[in-house]
Amino acid sequence: MDFLERRRTFDLPLTIGVIADTHIYAHGSRVLPAPVLDLFRRAGVGLILHLGDVNSAWVLQELANLAPLLAVAGNNDEDELQDALPTSLRFTVGTHTFGALHGDGGRSAKDQVKRAFGGKVDVAFFGHSHIPFLDEYQGTTLFNPGSATDRRWHEHFGVGIVRVTAAAIDPELILYTRADHLTNITFAPDNPSRPEPQERVSR
For the chain, the structural domain boundaries read 13-202
Beta strands in the chain (DSSP E): 9-10, 14-19, 47-50, 69-71, 88-93, 96-101, 123-125, 133-137, 140-144, 157-164, 169-176, 198-202
At 179 the three-state DSSP class reads helix
Percent of the chain residues past pLDDT 70, beyond the cut: 94
Nearest 10 degrees: Cα torsion 123, 55, 184, 163: 20
Query: What's 13-202's CATH class?
Result: alpha beta
Encoded amino acid at 79, one letter = D
CA–CA gap between residue 108 and residue 152 (Å, rounded) = 16
For the cut 90, the answer to whether the pLDDT of residue 191 exceeds it is no
The per-residue pLDDT for range 97-148, each reduced to its tens digit, is 999 999 998 889 999 999 999 999 999 999 999 999 999 999 999 999 999 9
For the cut 70, the answer to whether the pLDDT of residue 72 exceeds it is yes
Q: In what order do the strands lie in the sheet with 96-101?
A: 9-10, 88-93, 96-101, 123-125, 140-144, 133-137
